[in-house]
A and B are shown apart, each in its own frame.
Chain A
């Protein structure tokens, strides 16, 4: 039963970490290679709130706002001129990620930082004692998934974003403000990624390069999912499950590369990956 819970909660964590990248890729058709840096920014928001003696929960809204504001500035100054040159955008965002990492190093040093746990302890569930925090992460992933579903299906912004995803030229011809839609989407994506950074703090060490490790897995999952949150959820469940199984029964080292290897295999078989889900 613990194995099942590990699979589901690992999938949830992968979903939380990848959702912001997918939101940006889906609407802007640009891979934000500074994604790992935004995770790091979020995690350091938890360091800051801890340093100020504030509740660790305050790091969540702080990270979202900080990530969204930084994202807005980045979209306006760096990403917007590169929409027609997506390969250059990859290089630009990769470089930005390095700069953000160095700025964090300047401000906080290279050492691993420690943050206060959002939740600690275990809970008895399905006949086993299980980490309360990992179950909270599962609930957070469901909330983020439902939030996106509500945003996309229930709001005009969501409808406009879906229109831009499906046919950007037509959306523009109908008078939709595609520039504003991209801007807001980028802010939401980066805000959410920074928030994910806070949620990662109880699970991983916080240092200026912590985001890099998560970037590759997120990137591969998003490539497999296309622009569909449903497909992302399925990819996280399948590949996250495989990662847990490989880590448990074969080798944790091989488990660490499972997501990347399986994603590459799926994309080799079908270039659309799980995008039909």
Chain B
């Protein structure tokens, strides 16, 4: 739950607008995420959640506004620069190189093979099944295993901030529980900040310290993840 000690800002968005072509998807959005917290960003389909993550990572250009990571502006920074500075990303769309092996998918997260052994050992602590299946083609994994591989790849560099896009989509509860455990362990052991984009209300509120609901590119509501959150968020997610 929310730790009042987590007061230092990790990621700050101030009046950010972004989108594709002439269409603005994110509109004048402001959001502050504290160091070491898990922040759940929820919303219905098409509300701009994925676009927001892509804007933070520099895959979609911010048209206006300011984005700061650890107090430094990252507007215009390349994904390469951001990942080098400690940002991990677990995408939702076409998230794996399905023709490559598990090991090669994981290797692509690091810059030098000298770091491979230590990075692999780190992800094996969360998902030990990967250890004996490194040579297996990623596309042959089950849906749940693929999601664990996507998260493992984002964790390879022990990032300070992880952007996670709908990791629980289509997964059975036991797999979701494993993923939740891994995220909480990263937060507790490494002080990792996590921005979790989700539609799975139970999973998101179970692991998050704070939450916000995105509606048509704007923050519609936000709060601390507590016993009352579920009903409030549910109201926003009703069709």
Query: Which of A174-182, A211-219, A245-253 forms contacts with chain B?
Result: A174-182
A178: nearest residue on chain B (CB-CB)? B80
Q: Does A170 contact B (CB under 8 A)?
A: yes
A160, A163, A171, A175 — most chain B CB neighbours (10 Å): A175
Q: Which residues of B contact A162 (CB under 8 A)?
A: 97, 100
| Cβ 8 A contact of A176, one of B82, B108, B113 | B108
**A156–B100 Cα gap in the complex (Å)?**
13
The docked-state distance in angstroms from the alpha carbon of A166 to that of B97 is 7
**In whole angstroms, how far apart are the Cα atoms of A160 and B113 in the complex?**
13
- Closest B residue, CB atoms, query A156: B113
Q: Is B79 an interface residue (CB 8 A)?
A: yes
Q: Are the C-beta atoms of A175 and B95 separated by less than 8 Å? A: no
Residue of A nearest to B104 (CB): A159
Complex Cα spacing A156 to B103, Å:
13
- The residues of B that contact A174 with a CB separation of less than 8 Å are 79, 83, 89, 108-109, 153
Q: In the complex, how many angstroms separate the beta carbon of A167 from the nearest chain B beta carbon?
A: 6
B contact residues, range: 20 to 34
Q: Indicate if B44 sits at the interface (CB-CB under 8 A).
A: no
Tell me whether B226 is interfacial, beta carbon within 8 Å: no
The yes or no answer to B107 lying at the interface (CB within 8 A) is yes
A172 at the interface (CB under 8 A from B): yes
Nearest opposing residue in chain A for B109, CB measure: A174
Within 8 Å by CB of B59, from A159, A166, A167, A172, lies A172
CB contacts (< 8 Å) of B79 on chain A: these are 172-175
0/1 per residue, B67-108, Cβ < 8 Å to A?
000000000000110111000010100111111100010011
The count of residues in chain A whose C-beta lies closer than 8 Å to any C-beta of chain B is 16
Query: Complex: how many Å from CA A176 to CA B107?
Result: 11
A163 to B97 Cα, complex, angstroms: 7
Residues of A within 8 A of B123 (CB): none
CB distance from A226 to the nearest CB of B (A): 13
Judged by a CB distance under 8 angstroms, whether B208 is at the interface is no
CB-defined contacts of A173 to chain B, threshold 8 Å:
57, 59, 79, 89, 91
* Residue pair A166, B57 in contact (C-beta under 8 Å): no
Say yes or no: is A169 at the interface (Cβ < 8 Å to chain B). Answer: yes
- Whether B80 contacts A167 by the Cβ 8 Å rule is no
Instruction: Report Cα–Cα, A156/B107, bound state, in Å.
Output: 9
Q: Are A177 and B80 in contact (CB under 8 A)?
A: yes
Whether A170 pairs with B95 at a CB distance below 8 angstroms is yes
Asked if A171 and B108 make an inter-chain contact with CB atoms under 8 angstroms apart, the answer reads yes
Q: 27 A–B contact pairs at CB < 8 A?
A: A156-B112, A156-B113, A159-B100, A159-B104, A160-B108, A162-B100, A163-B97, A163-B100, A166-B97, A166-B98, A166-B99, A167-B94, A167-B97, A170-B91, A170-B95, A170-B96, A171-B108, A172-B79, A173-B57, A173-B89, A174-B79, A174-B83, A174-B89, A174-B109, A175-B83, A175-B84, A176-B80
Residues in B lying within 8 Å of A, measured CB to CB: 57, 59, 79-80, 82-84, 89, 91, 94-100, 104, 107-109, 112-113, 153
- List the 7 closest A-B pairs by CB distance, nearest first: A175-B83, A175-B80, A166-B97, A175-B79, A177-B80, A174-B108, A163-B108
